[in-house]
Structure 1
Amino acid sequence: MGEFTPFQTVDVIGLPVAVTDYSSAIDWIFDRALAADRAYAIEAANTHVAALARHEQEFGEVMAQFDLICPDGMPLVWAINRCLGKRKKEKEESPEKLTDRVYGPTLMLKTIEASEGQPDLKHFFLGGAQSTLEKLHRRFEEQYPGSHIAGSYSPPFGDWPEEEFEKIRENIVASGANLIWVGLGCPKQERWIAKYKEQLPPGCYFGIGAAFAFHAGEVDQAPCWMQRIGMEWFYRLCKEPRRLSKRYFKYNGLFVWYQFNK
């Protein structure tokens, strides 16, 4: 983890997850974005990310490069709160239990909203089809007119040529962005951020997963009540069974196994 992380963390099957809420996470993000001293890596981690980091050493090393890991999934929130409850029983100093998760797509919306009227905070979208990026631009310019959407880039599909990183870097530099939303899908986006972290322009880089498709209106989100009880995965599985069945059954199962077989 990065040296400046101000949050207490809880080890969730080996992943150091911050005990934080939206407001505190956004304050941390803005401080780092405006510091402009280096690239910071931010992740909203769900059970898939946590289980993959525990199951595969290489991906665990990738996640070790991240400076802030927020609890995106309710199972991570429950695991954190169990640990905090245990600390209090043992009379250890401990923050209050979390009342909500820090859901990646919502973190994106709240961060863009909070940046309104702050011209030094500029957003860049990396990933997705050009049509998706155009929808995102339209939505955020209409919904958050005081925010600054500085640029976007739709990379080629599949494996990238060696020169692709330099093209992306030049686009980010030219835009002046310091809040860079990376929507390449998990785990590609996390691997990309970790691999190039030392070469990226200063700013905050978010592994944001399906948020682009959600906010562009291309994929439906689960109802709020399903999100609250940790069943968002089931809703998405019903929508995209062919693509998501292996991921959810394998990694949800691994998360439970690691959680109760420490």
Structure 2
Amino acid sequence: MADQGWLQRWKTIMGRLRLVQDAADEQRLLASLCSAQRPTVLGFVNAHAMNLVAGKPDYCQALGAADVLLRDGAGMAILLRRLGSAPGLNMNGTDFIPKLLAAFNGRRVAFWGTREPFLSEAAQRCEVQYGVHAVSWHDGFAEVDTYLDLARQHQPALIVLGMGMPKQEQLAVRLAALDNPCLIVCGGAIVDFLGGKVTRAPHWVRRLNGEWVFRLLKEPKRLFTRYVVGNPLFLLRALRYARAPVHGVQRRS
């Protein structure tokens, strides 16, 4: 019964996935996200997220509540190909969120996640590099009500959450319930990257889908379970899921 439970949860998330086919499709998505007239949640689905979905029904509910879910990483591409679907572009947040920030030039942005000094550094860098107006930055370890109060006070057009899974997705659900038309992005380690705490892998490593190996070598203690244990577990689940009835995914929003 529990086994069937995770299969159903995977079906839920796969059915919500929005595949981006090419650069033109990505531009249409950017334009849509930047012109949202209501609270809109953007999430990213990678192998780690799917492992959490398998074990945590409440996380599946929070992730599945997002308005747009994008495919992130080689693991998800493998799963989609096993299901007979073209995976489209790799829409990882580390690459896509900076494009969003550039598209929000001149608008109010909040950064909630990580710790100082990287948090302030991320906000300042984004103001200089992308021309956004950073109206709020706060570490990612406060109570939910703290962020709700900040959202009401500052009314940002874009909220970048860098708290990691599952906290950011659960907070996004609460933020989306506020009467403030904004884009809420579940960005994982993005604030760490923007603030210089974590460095990107070289381009050639990224082209080989090896950035996870680079990150593991940089932070082996923190990421061992996620990658060394989690990646094989995800692949085993992907093989099992692929034997179940194939479920469709969205190609267009």
Q: TM-score normalized by structure 2?
A: 0.79
1:28 corresponding residue in structure 2: 29
Q: 1:31 to 1:114 in 2, by over 3 A?
A: same
Q: 1:243 to 1:97 in 2, by over 3 A?
A: closer
User: What whole-Å deviation, never above 9, does each CA across 1:26-83 have from its counterpart, x for those lacking one?
Assistant: 53354344342x2111112211012211232221111110111111212212333454
5 Å-filtered alignment, 1:112-127, equals 112-116=101-105, 119=106, 121-127=107-113
Contiguous gaps of at least 5 residues in structure 2:
1-7, 242-253
Q: Secondary structure at the match of 2:101?
A: helix
Q: Select which of 108, 131, 138 maps to 2:124.
A: 138
Q: 2:138 aligns with which of 154, 161, 180?
A: 154
- Cα deviations by residue, 1:69-109 (Å, 9 ceiling, x for unpaired): 111212212333454xx36xxxxxxxx652x3112011111
1:18 maps to a residue whose letter is R
Native 8 Å contact 1:74 1:229 kept in 2? no
Distance in 1 between residues matched to 2:35 and 2:124, nearest whole Å: 25
The CA RMSD measured in Å over matched residues stands at: 2.7
Measured after TM superposition, the shift of residue 185 of structure 1 is 1.6
| Contact 2:112–2:160 (CA under 8 A) maintained in structure 1 | yes
Tell me which amino acid in the other structure corresponds to 1:27.
R
Q: SS of 2:52's equivalent?
A: helix
Do the aligned residues in 1 keep the contact of 2:44 with 2:71 (CA within 8 Å)? yes
- Equivalenced residue count is 230
Q: Which amino acid aligns with 2:118?
A: T
Q: Are 1:205 and 2:191 an aligned pair?
A: no
Distance in 2 (alpha carbons) for counterparts of 1:12 and 1:28: 26
Counterpart-to-counterpart distance in 2, 1:228 and 1:124: 31
Listed as ranges, the gaps of 5+ residues in structure 1 are 1-10, 88-95
The aligned residue for residue 56 of structure 1 is 56
Q: How far off its partner does 1:183 sit?
A: 0.8
**Equivalent position amino acid for 2:152 in 1:** E
Asked if residue 229 in structure 1 is aligned to residue 211 in structure 2, the reply is: no
Asked if structure 2 preserves the Cα contact closer than 8 Å seen for 1:12 and 1:76, the reply is: no
Name the structure 1 match of 2:196. 217
Once the two structures are aligned, what percentage of the paired residues are identical? Answer: 24
CA spacing shift, 1:22–1:153, aligned 2, 3 Å: farther
1:157-192 CA-to-partner distances (Å, cap 9, x unmatched) read 3x62x642442223432xxx2221111122211121
Distance in 2 (alpha carbons) for counterparts of 1:29 and 1:200:
22
> Following the alignment from structure 1 to structure 2, what is the Cα–Cα distance between the partners of residues 223 and 110?
19
Q: Where does residue 250 of structure 2 map in the other structure?
A: none
2:248 alignment partner in structure 1 = none
In structure 1, the residue matched to 2:80 is 80
Structure-1-length-normalised TM-score: 0.76
For the Cα contact (< 8 Å) 1:26–1:111, is it kept in 2? no
